[in-house]
Amino acid sequence: MSKTAELILEGRSYQLPIVEGTEKERAIDISSLRGESGYITLDEGYVNTGSCRSQITFIDGEKGILRYRGIPIEELAEKCSFVEVAHLIIMNKLPNREELKRFSEMLTANELLHEDIKYHFEGFPPNAHPMAILSSMINAGSCFYPELLTEMRSQFDVQAARLLSQVRTIAAFAYRKSRGLPIIYPKPDYRYTENFLHMMFSLPYNDIEMKREAVKALDLIFLLHADHEQNCSTSTVRMVASARSNLFASAAAGVCALWGSLHGGANQVVIEMLKEIHESGDDGSRFIEDAKNKSSGRRLMGFGHRVYKNYDPRAKILKKACDDLFAKLDRSDPLLDIAKRLEEAALKDSYFIERQLYPNVDFYSGIAMRALGIPVEMFTVIFAIGRMPGWIANYKEVMEDPNARISRPRQIYMGPTLNHFVPIDQR
């Protein structure tokens, strides 16, 4: 294969290098194009643009493949905890027993917030969205660690553990604030996911009964969201990091991007859709037909993905996890029944097959969280906790790249041509 691509512009030939990844992904390196030709490329939404080289996550959307550091998501979901996977993503290796012990101890040692941060929570109105609080409090947290600005590289392991651990504490505090409930502090004898459920649902005089199947389900949700290549929020983290912003500030920006209904908020929209179907007395059949009619204004949420043109592997894992969770809790949920009927109908319908619309992770994650008693407004917060290892690892890649430059996309200007100032009395 040729190692260059030829581009002909106005009769002149330009040789552009071909870059090939370890999984045979190929890209045309256009970094010198503007300097040599005066042209830039236009790719609105960055659909066909590679913004970086990364060693963290590989996705093959056509085949429905997702791997963290080369390991298939199916293997990790079956055999690992979220903390092990976080170590894999951030530290670039699955931990041995001693490394896992050290990493877990670092998380425990850094789970408490500075007591003065509690005063920041008091400034939010009772109905403040937990994502707004989460972003604000992560950013504010950096004020209490001045070494973030001066010793980030030498202190990276500690700061990464601090952020990964404290995001749970902030999230739980945000939930308690929104419900007018007293704050519950983390307990050092609880593991990562257990501690989050404890801080969410325990009372000062009565700890929540920790059900193993609930802990396992939430830990799996965290794990499945741990990284997902260069999505909107991760790209945001990398862009902010490229300006040499600190880790907490970069992660706070990621939270803001994740908040959007087209990104992390999609699982909430799925639940709202399923509720609407259930309350209308429909079993999903009418909704499927309406979704195929563009004039109906209805869309089948939780289907389709910008990258996957096949069944999202995370959705397959979560579908089974939902079945297991409901069976072990001896519960049922009409929304899960409707979701399965929608999936079954859509996978047989040529309309959805031709458009490569398959269930994505959002289709089942909300149902699982609903079964755990997590309120809808916290769904995206759960996503943010799970995605934190990926954001930290991407931040680390940017900071360790000796050739990293501040991100600065170009544009094609479509506004007025040369104009001149007109005094106010002549306008």
Tens-digit pLDDT string for the chain (427 aa): 568 999 999 999 999 999 999 999 999 999 999 999 999 999 998 989 999 999 999 999 899 999 999 999 999 999 999 999 999 999 999 999 999 999 999 999 999 999 998 888 888 988 889 999 999 999 998 888 877 766 566 689 999 999 999 999 999 999 998 888 999 999 999 999 999 999 999 999 999 999 999 999 999 999 999 999 999 999 999 999 999 999 999 999 999 999 988 888 888 888 999 999 999 998 888 888 888 888 887 888 888 888 888 889 999 999 999 989 988 888 888 888 888 888 888 888 888 888 888 888 888 898 999 999 999 999 999 999 999 999 999 999 999 999 989 999 999 999 999 999 999 999 9
DSSP string, 365-405: HHHHHHHTT--GGGHHHHHHHHHHHHHHHHHHHHHH-TT--
115 burial type by CB count under 10 A (0-12 exposed, 13-18 middle, 19+ buried) = exposed
Residues with active-site annotation: 305, 362
Crossing angle for the helix pair 379-400 and 232-242, to the nearest 10 degrees: 40
- Measured CA to CA, the distance from residue 218 to residue 385 in angstroms comes to 11
pTM value is 0.94
Task: Tell me which residue of 101, 67, 108, 72 sits closest to 84, measured CA to CA.
Answer: 101
Phi/psi of residue 70, nearest 5 degrees: 90, -10
Domains assigned to the chain: 4-65 (2.20.28), 78-257+379-400 (1.10.580.10), 266-371 (1.10.230.10)
Helix (H, G, I), strand (E, B) or coil at 279: helix
- Measured CA to CA, the distance from residue 94 to residue 87 in angstroms comes to 6
- Measured CA to CA, the distance from residue 381 to residue 65 in angstroms comes to 25
- Are 252 and 138 in contact by the 8 Å Cβ rule? The answer is yes
Asked whether the CA dihedral 93, 99, 102, 107 is positive or negative, the reply is positive
- Measured CA to CA, the distance from residue 15 to residue 6 in angstroms comes to 5
Percent helix, percent strand, percent coil in the chain, to nearest 5: 55, 5, 40
